[in-house]
Amino acid sequence: MAIKSLLIKNLESHVKTRLRFHKGVNVIVGDTDAGKSGIMRALTLLMHNRPGGDEFVNDKTKDVIVKAKIDNKIVKRVKGKENLYYLDKQVFRAFGQSVPEKIAKFLNISEVNIQHQLDQHFLLSKSSGEVARYFNKIVKLDIISRSLKNISTRIKEDKATIKKSKENRDDLRKSIKKYDWLVNAEDEIRVLEITQRRVGKITKQIYEINSLIDEIEKLKIKKEKLSNLMKAKPEVEELIQSNKKIGKEERNLFELSELIESVESTKKLIKEKILAKKELKKQFEKLMPNICPLCDQEIK
């Protein structure tokens, strides 16, 4: 995977700069203030999302854009009001100085791929061990070494696990001997299960029988009550007849009371009439002493 072209906008002196790269090693040269550092800063912004801030922005009103064509894909970094990455048509948001994981995996660029002007010569200043590690990375011997180390570590862990498992197995065998009686107890357990089912059925039958006994007792009580009522039937009928007679006598008594009241009222009215008659007679005799009140003739 190699960078084929690079477009830089609004970063330091690069208002709009387009660069094309060749396969293999590319060297950026130029006069002082020609913008070499700006190109390196643009690559750093694209790969590592650094530097932060806006000191390197040419026009604060515009976004900084760094776009690279890598193989047949376009990677673009936009820094301004929003910090965004683009991988073709996919959009990723950058938080702080982190690079979205998918962008970092696609770029896959490290310090081995880029060397600055003041950096020491590649590998010449490194120790033999460091040089060996670089070459190991190139031919992927480091992966083999890590794999062998991981395999060795895994073997040790597996051996320890096997040893522990054997110890656990021996302990389990000793523990199992304590439960040898379970083999003979299996038949007894079956017998107990059958017995338990029978007990359950009998218990259910007992419950049903007790329920029937309760119902029978309730019916007996009802029967006794009905028997007592049947025995008392003649007395009840006699009481009913007596009640009817009493009712009839009460009605007669009521009618007699009304007649007595009527007679008393009549007596009182007669007395009032007699008194009124006497009063009239007195007045008549007083007014007409010589006249008969019956025949209206003069008395001689």
Q: CA dist 243 to 43, 230, 247, Å?
A: 124, 20, 6
Report yes or no on 59 lying in a domain: yes
Confidence (pLDDT) at 85 = 93
We report the CATH number of the domain holding residue 84 as 3.40.50.300
Whether 53 and 131 share a structural domain: no
Report yes or no on 157 lying in a domain: yes
Check residues 110 and 267 and name the one with the higher pLDDT.
267
Is the pLDDT at 60 greater than 80, yes or no? yes
Is the pLDDT at 55 greater than 70, yes or no? yes
Report yes or no on 12 lying in a domain: yes
Is the pLDDT at 121 greater than 80, yes or no? no
Report yes or no on 239 lying in a domain: no
Whether 66 and 15 share a structural domain: yes
Whether 184 and 136 share a structural domain: no
pLDDT tens-place string over residues 65-107:
999 998 889 999 999 888 899 999 899 988 878 889 898 888 8
Whether 13 and 65 share a structural domain: yes
Which range marks the domain in which residue 149 is found? 120-176
Whether 26 and 86 share a structural domain: yes
Most confident residue range from 23-37, 44-58, 99-113, 201-215:
201-215
pLDDT tens-place string over residues 225-279:
888 777 777 787 888 888 888 888 888 888 888 888 888 888 888 888 888 888 8
Mean pLDDT of the chain: 83
Domain count, the chain: 3
Whether 10 and 43 share a structural domain: yes
Residues 6+ apart with CB under 8 A from 225: none
Report yes or no on 81 lying in a domain: yes
Is the pLDDT at 284 greater than 80, yes or no? no
Whether 156 and 190 share a structural domain: no
HEC sequence for 169-231: HHHHHHHHHCCCHHHHHHHHHHHHHHHHHHHHHHHHHHHHHHHHHHHHHHHHHHHHHHHHHHH
pLDDT band at 6 (very low <50, low <70, confident <90, very high): very high
Confidence (pLDDT) at 78 = 92
Whether 14 and 102 share a structural domain: yes
Q: Of 39, 110, 26, 98, which Cα lies nearest the Cα of 68?
A: 39
Question: ∠ at Cα 193 (189, 198), nearest 5°?
Answer: 145
Whether 9 and 112 share a structural domain: yes
Whether 134 and 113 share a structural domain: no
Whether 167 and 203 share a structural domain: no
Confidence (pLDDT) at 16 = 92
Whether 114 and 186 share a structural domain: no
Distance between CA 265 and CA 83 in Å, rounded? 122
Report yes or no on 292 lying in a domain: no
pLDDT tens-place string over residues 133-164:
777 766 666 667 777 788 888 888 888 889 88
Distance between CA 273 and CA 284 in Å, rounded? 16
Confidence (pLDDT) at 250 = 85
pLDDT band at 294 (very low <50, low <70, confident <90, very high): low
